[in-house]
Amino acid sequence: MKNIIKIILPLSWYRKLKGWLVKPYKRIKFVGLSISYRKIRLRLRKQFGKELIRVGFIGYADGASCDIFTNLYKIFDHDSRFTCKVIILPYTHDDKNAMIKKHKNAMEYVRSQDIQPLPGYDEKNDVMINYGGSFDIVFFENEYDWIDPLFKVENFRDALSFVIPYGQYLADNVQYHLSHKMMSEVFRVYPTSKPISKMMKKYSDIFGWNINSEYLGNPKTDRFFNVGKVEDVWKKAKEGQKRIIWAPHHTWAPYSNFLTYYNDFLEYARVHKDIFIALKPHPALRDSLRDINKWSEEEIKQYFDAWKNGENTDLFEGAWFDLFQKSDAMVLDSLGFMLEYSLSGRPACVIYRVDENGNRVMKFSDCGEELYEKLYHAKDMQEIENFLAMIRRGEDSQKEVRLEYIKDNYTPPYGKSGAENIYNDILKMLE
C-alpha cells in the first residue's frame, strides 16, 4: 500500500500525508507507553533500597569518541542500591569487518576506564547478543535507524528508558533526528543544552512530552567545566609552536570540505615550521573515502601516514579532550566540534562552501546558527591562512562573546556536573 501511494502522489504530498498520519499515531502510542512507564516506575519505587536496581548503558559504538556514559556509570555504580553494566553497541553502519574492529577497540577503551563492559556482538557465533529483560533502567545515546533492533528501546519495554543524545543538533536536521522512533518512545530525553531543550520541544513529534523540562547538563561535556589533570598528547610538538587541529567531517556530509583541502593543510605545515598541525578526522572519514570517493585502502593508508610521519604534523584518532586542552586553535567542518571545541575556550574557524548563488551550503539549526556567529569562518584557503596568521599573532577578538554564550547556555546548574544532576533526577523518581 505504501508503495502504491508513493506512485500516485507527488513526493511532497506523500511526505505531508506521512507526517499527518505518523505524528498522531506516535502521540497515541506514547500515551499507552506512559501508562506502562508509570507501572514500571511504581514497581521500582517499591523495589528501591530493598532489591538492586539494574542499570544498563548502551553505547560506546566508536569507543572514546562516543563516551557519554563513563562518569554517569561510575556515579550509579558507586551507589550500592544499583548494579550497573555497560553494553558495547555494535556499529552496524559499517561493513562487518569494520564493525568488529570498532567493537574490539570500544571494549578496550571502556576497560581502560576501569569498567568491565559486555559485548553487544558475539564474533565466534556471528550474532548480536540479546540483553532484553536484563535492566530496570536503560540509557541510550544513539537513536539512528541503522542500530540493530536488539539495542533499541522496543527490546527494553520492561525498563525505564532514557536518551542522552550523542549529537549536539547543530545542523539543520533537528526534525530528522527527532523523527526517529526512539525519540518518541523512550520515557525521558535529557537535552544537551538550554537552546537544544527549546528546539526539542518545538520539533518533537509528541509535543515534547518526554523531553526533560530542565537542562541538567551533559555528561559528555562535563569535563570541560571541571578540567582536572590534562595529559600533553602533543608529543612531537616543539616548544613555541602554535598547535592547530584540523578536524574534517566524513565525506558523506554535504558540507564536507575534505577533498578541497586535504593536501593544502599538509603543504601549509611544510612551509610554516612555527606551527604544528594535528589531523583529527571524523571517525567515519576513512570509510567515506573508501565507499563514496573510491579511495583504495593503500591510498587512505598513505594519506594518514603522511600526517603521522610529518616533521610538524601528527594524526589523532579516538579521545580528544587532552588534545583540545593543549591546543591553540582548530579549523573544522565537523559540526559537533563547533561546540565541543568552543567549550575548551579556544578559537575555532569553520570552513564553509557556497553554491552558485553565493549562499552558504552548510545550514544550521537555531542554536547551531547562534554558536556559528560567535566563531571564525573561512570559505577558501586564503581565509583559512588569515585565521592561522591571527592565531600565530596570539589574537582572538571573539573570545569574550564566545565564552559568555557558552557560560549562559551550557554550564550545568546547581553547582554540579551534568552526570550528578541526571543521577539526582532519577533518584527523585525512585524515592
Quick: pLDDT tens for 132-167.
999 999 999 987 878 999 999 999 999 999 999 988
The CATH number of residue 373's host domain is 3.40.50.2000
**135 and 162 assigned to the same domain:** yes
pLDDT > 90 in the chain, percent:
79
Using an 8 Å Cβ cutoff, are 200 and 211 in contact? yes
What does the mean pLDDT of the chain come to? 92
- Do 166 and 214 share a structural domain? yes
Residue type, 130: N
List, for residues 344-377, the tens digit of each pLDDT value. Answer: 999 999 999 988 888 898 889 999 999 999 999 9
Residue 76 has pLDDT above 60, yes or no: yes
Distance CA 211, CA 425 (A): 13
Q: Under a CB-based contact definition with an 8 Å cutoff, are residues 201 and 208 in contact? A: yes
Q: List, in sequence order, every residue forming a beta bridge with 245; answer none if it has no partner.
A: 278, 330
Higher pLDDT, 11 or 146: 146
Are 273 and 297 contained in the same domain?
yes
CA angle 158, 123, 103 (to 5 degrees): 75
Per the domain annotation, does 16 fall within a domain? no
Q: Is residue 12 part of a domain?
A: no
Same domain, 199 and 247: no
Helix axes 418-430, 70-78, angle to 10 degrees: 40
The reported pLDDT for the residue numbered 14 is 46
Q: Are 145 and 172 in contact (CB under 8 A)?
A: no
pLDDT of residue 178: 85
Choose among 429, 415, 372: nearest CA to 222. Answer: 415
Strand, helix or coil for residue 43: helix
- Shared domain for 108 and 216, answered yes or no, is yes
Q: Is 53 domain-assigned?
A: yes
Question: Are 198 and 277 part of one and the same domain?
Answer: no
Question: Which pLDDT band, with edges at 50, 70 and 90, does 18 fall under?
Answer: low
Q: Burial level of 309, CB count in 10 A (0-12/13-18/19+)?
A: exposed
Q: Taking 90 as the threshold, does the pLDDT of residue 66 lie above it?
A: no
Q: Is residue 298 part of a domain?
A: yes
Say how many domains are in the chain. 2
Checking if the pLDDT of 15 tops 80, the result is no
What pLDDT band is residue 108 in, cutting at 50, 70 and 90? very high
Same structural domain, 402 and 420: no
**pLDDT for the residue 1:** 46
* Residue 372 located in a structural domain: yes
pLDDT at residue 135, as a whole number = 98
pLDDT confidence band for 57 (50 / 70 / 90): very high
What's the order of all strands across the beta sheet hosting 137-140? 82-88, 53-59, 137-140, 160-163, 188-189
* Per-residue pLDDT reduced to its tens digit, 322-340: 999 999 999 999 888 999 9
Query: Do residues 273 and 386 share a domain?
Result: yes
How do residues 386-421 score in pLDDT, each as one tens digit?
A: 999 999 999 999 999 999 999 999 999 999 999 999
Classify each residue of 219-255 as buried b or exposed e, where b means 16 or more C-beta atoms within 10 Å of its C-beta. Answer: bbbbbbbeeeeeeebbeebeeebbbbbbbbbbbebeb
Check pLDDT > 50 for residue 74: yes
> For 230-288, what is each residue's pLDDT tens digit?
999 999 999 999 999 999 999 998 889 999 999 999 999 999 999 999 999 998 899 89
What is the structure's pLDDT at 5?
Answer: 45
d(CA 338, CA 245): 12
How sure is the predictor about 2, in pLDDT bands with cuts at 50, 70 and 90? very low
pLDDT at 42: 97
pLDDT of residue 143: 76
- In terms of domains, do 209 and 304 share one? no
Q: Does residue 336 contact residue 364 with C-beta atoms inside 8 Å?
A: no
- The string of DSSP letters for 354-421 reads B-TTS-BS--B-HHHHHHHTTSEEESSHHHHHHHHHHHHTT--TTHHHHHHHHHHHHSPSTTS-HHHH
**pLDDT, mean of residues 103-120:** 96
Query: ∠ CA(292), CA(377), CA(64), 5° rounding?
Result: 55
* N-to-C CA span, the chain: 48
Domain range for 339 is 242-410
Residues 195 and 272 in one domain: no
